[in-house]
Every structure is written in structure tokens, then in C-alpha cells.
Amino acid sequence: MKCKLFLIFILILIGMSFCKNPNASDASESWQFSGSKGEVILMTLDPGHFHAALVQKTMKEQIHPDVHIFAPEGPDITNHLQQIEKYNSRDKNPTNWVSHVYTGDDFLEKMLEETPGNVMVVAGNNRKKTEYIRKAVEHGIHVLADKPMAIDTDDFEILLRAFKTAEEKHLLLYDIMTERFEVTTILQKMFSRIPEIFGELEKGTPDNPAVTKESVHHFFKYVSGEKIKRPPWFFDSAQQGEGLVDVTTHLVDLVQWECFPEKIIDYTKDIRIHKARRWPTEVSPDQFMEVTRLAEIPDYLQQSLSEEGMLQVYANGSILYEINGIMAKVSVEWKYKAPEGGGDTHYSVMRGTRSNLIIRQGMEEGYKPVLYIEPANGVDAKTFEKDLIQALNTIHETYPGVEVEKSDKNWKVVIPERYKVGHEAHFGQVTDKFLQYLVEGKLPAWEVPNMITKYYITTKALEMARAEGTTDLP
């Protein structure tokens, strides 16, 4: 009888081990990735930004079609589900996502309690995002997060703890840096690594930085062919974060990624912030209502109204800083609407001893990014042309078909259309990279310290700009 009871006890234990939820607190040890079909199960938390849907714009074999969504009730989750349904029902390459939705005030607790997936995707209201990230990694969940992962210095300290926990639990905590996949930026980086063309990166000065990156964005735009619907909290810096900690995340990331590829940047030793500024964009009530589809401005935004009744949205800012002794400047500006035929734009300069690499995206370029190579003063034109033609052999190893076109003062890099996939497609490319890292079981050694440095720069710059007072004009 005792033997029989002992055998039953052993069978119960075995059964419990098989029934154990692999997504519980020790999920980081239970989940191993091989690249097999459907092994990655997404959990989307509080999807208030359209970037959450863009992660699912294309299907990935490694990602299971069942996606578990946890969110509060309201328009954000409704808009998200509508966008996923549009991807499922489109005529060309429709997706087949199956959304399992839980809505309620305890959506975070419910996700952590049930943990039906192994990767959390978070893109939305940034007020609590850093805390969501911290709790997810503490629970053993990998995280793919939209920027920004921190919007002030308090968040930065929480993020530091989250990265420490992720390291201890062998988890991936990764932000979505789509701009690394824009082809003109890639080619700017590639040409800067060819000494015969670029020489060495200049040191720069505060008045003439070695690296300058400027980005112009618009509240009104089209996403997946339709007019965007912004959530009202997007205009509240306490929830969305100011411009200095939002889009500048991309720009700071590109400075590190292009100028010091695969090098660890230590924010405690390698960074010195010289100056940071912030200023508002004025949005009229009519513009606000057009882009949010609301009939009135919410109470929490009333304090942001000027005497003239205009919303003062602190979406603009600039940071002047040194990184490894190189002077860099990044700036972001938000306008309401782009000119006809235009959209969000990017301007970037890398100054080398033999040439400047410049990306322009203005009217002359048809509001499309174009890379120019401008020989430095004193560089022999014939020698430079010979070296440039020779350098194309290196470029063609990765991007066959890229050519250069000479003008009076510079060279225009001509890029075949097949490489210009567009911003929305970059989300799929970031996801591919993340899936690769899941299989490898780690991020590159430089990624985490450089993410930490990036968020130190943006949050510290905001702290400095606020301390210096409000700037009304750029």
C-alpha cells in the first residue's frame, strides 16, 4: 500500500512539472528559442501608439499568430484592434493574427498572473512604460519596447534596475530603433568607414559640431495610407514625454551607432552634455480636434493652454554634447502638418577630414532622404573621384546597384528603389533582428550599455533644459 501511495505521489509530481506554466516567474530559464515556427508568443501591453500595430504589419514564421493583448478599456485598444484587423483583411499579403484581448484596470496584473506569452511588446502612453518594463523582466518576460523607455531621470533609474534584472535572468530588453534600417543612414555609416573617402571624424566645436542630426515631425500624418488618429494624451508631456526624450532617442542612438560602431559607450566617462534647450509647438483647438477626433480638449490639458487658447506642446528640443571627445548636436522639431507632398524629414551631417556626408530631405529632394558626399576643402578632385569609384566596390558587396552622380560641389548617392522600403517596413526589420537575438540568447555586448547611455543623455538633457527655464522660440 505504501509503495502504491508513493508511486501516486511521484506521478502527481511529474504531472505538476508538465503542467507548470513556463511563463511563470522563472520563465527566463524555461523558454529557449531555436528559431522554430511559432515559438515566440507576443503579449501586447496597453497599445496606445500605432507603433504597437506596426510590429504586426507582417507575419513572422517564428511568431505565433495568437497574440495576447492586455489593456484598459477605451479608444486606444479599440484603435489598435481596428489596425490589426485592417492588416488581416487587406487584399495584398493579408496577415492572420488572432487577438486574445483582456480589458480592465488590472490589465498589467492580469498579464503577469497569466503570462500566456514570452515576449511583451509595449508602445503607448509613456508615463508608466518604464515601470511596465521593470515588472515584466522581474517576471521573466522578454521585452520589445517602443521608444522612449524612459522620459525623465526617475525613469532612468528604474530602467537601470530593469537592465540589471534582465542581465541576471538572461532576458532581452530591447528598444525599437527603426532608423538604423533607413538605407541613406546605413550608407552614410558605410562611407564613413572608408578612410579614402571620409578620412577621420572631425572633433568639432560647439559652434560647428562634427555630427549634426535634425528631425522634423508632424502631428497630422498618414499611417498605412490613412489619416492618423492621435490619442489626446500624446499632447501631454507628463504622459508622452517631451520632445527631448522622445524622437531625440533615435538621433542620439544614430550618433553612437554610426560614429562608434560596436563600441561600448560609458555614460559615466564618455559623455559631457554642454547645453540643452526646449520650446513648445502651438496647436490650435481645431487642429487638436482634427487629429484626435475629440469634441473638446480634456481637463488634464487645460493647464497647457496659453492666454490665446493655444495648446503649448513641449515637443521640441536640442542637445549639444560631447561623446568620446567628439562634439555632437541633435535636435527635434514638431509641426502640425507637412507641406503638400512632404512628411517627416531628417537632416544629418558627419564631418570628416576628407569629406562631409550629408543627408537632406527637403523640397529639392522631393522630401525623400538623399545622401550627398561633399569633398573637404583642399582635397584633390581627381584623386577623390578615383577613390570614390573604387569605394563603390565595397558598397556593392552589400548594396549592388548603388551609384554616385557628380554635380558642381558634391556627389549624390543614387540608390535603387528596391532598398527604399519605408519607415513602416523598418518595424519588421527590427523585429527580425530581435528574433535573431532571441535565438542567440543575448544582445551584442555593446547594445545594453549604449541603450543606457542613450537614455542618460536624453533624460539628463531634459533635466538641464527645465532647470534653465522655458524657451519660447527656437
Query: What is the distance between the alpha carbons of residues 248 and 460, in angstroms, rounded to a whole number?
Result: 12
Looking at residue 252, its pLDDT comes to 98
SS3 366: coil
Query: What is the distance between the alpha carbons of residues 203 and 208, in angstroms, rounded to a whole number?
Result: 10
Task: Judge contact between 332 and 215, C-beta under 8 A.
Answer: yes
Side-chain half-sphere CA neighbours of 213 within 13 A: 22
Give the domains, in start order, of the chain with CATH numbers: 23-175 (3.40.50.720), 179-425+441-468 (3.30.360.10)
Closest by CA position to 290, among listed 222, 227, 218: 227
Within a 10 A sphere around the Cβ of 308, how many other Cβ atoms?
Answer: 7
Over the chain, what is the mean pLDDT? Answer: 91
Looking at residue 343, its pLDDT comes to 80
pLDDT along the chain (474 residues), means of 10: 40 33 45 92 95 96 98 96 97 97 98 98 95 98 98 98 98 97 98 98 98 95 82 92 95 98 98 97 96 94 95 96 98 91 88 98 91 96 96 98 93 97 94 98 98 98 87 43
Task: Judge contact between 139 and 106, C-beta under 8 A.
Answer: no
Query: What is the distance between the alpha carbons of residues 353 and 428, in angstroms, rounded to a whole number?
Result: 36
Query: What is the distance between the alpha carbons of residues 199 and 207, in angstroms, rounded to a whole number?
Result: 21
Side-chain half-sphere CA neighbours of 432 within 13 A: 10
Closest by CA position to 100, among listed 113, 118, 116, 89: 116
Number of residues that make up the chain: 474
Looking at residue 31, its pLDDT comes to 61
Looking at residue 226, its pLDDT comes to 81
Looking at residue 416, its pLDDT comes to 98
User: Beta partners for 411?
Assistant: 373, 406
Pairing relation of β-strands 355-360 and 370-375? antiparallel
DSSP letter at 340?
T
Within a 10 A sphere around the Cβ of 463, how many other Cβ atoms?
Answer: 18
* Joined grid coordinates for residue 280: 513648445
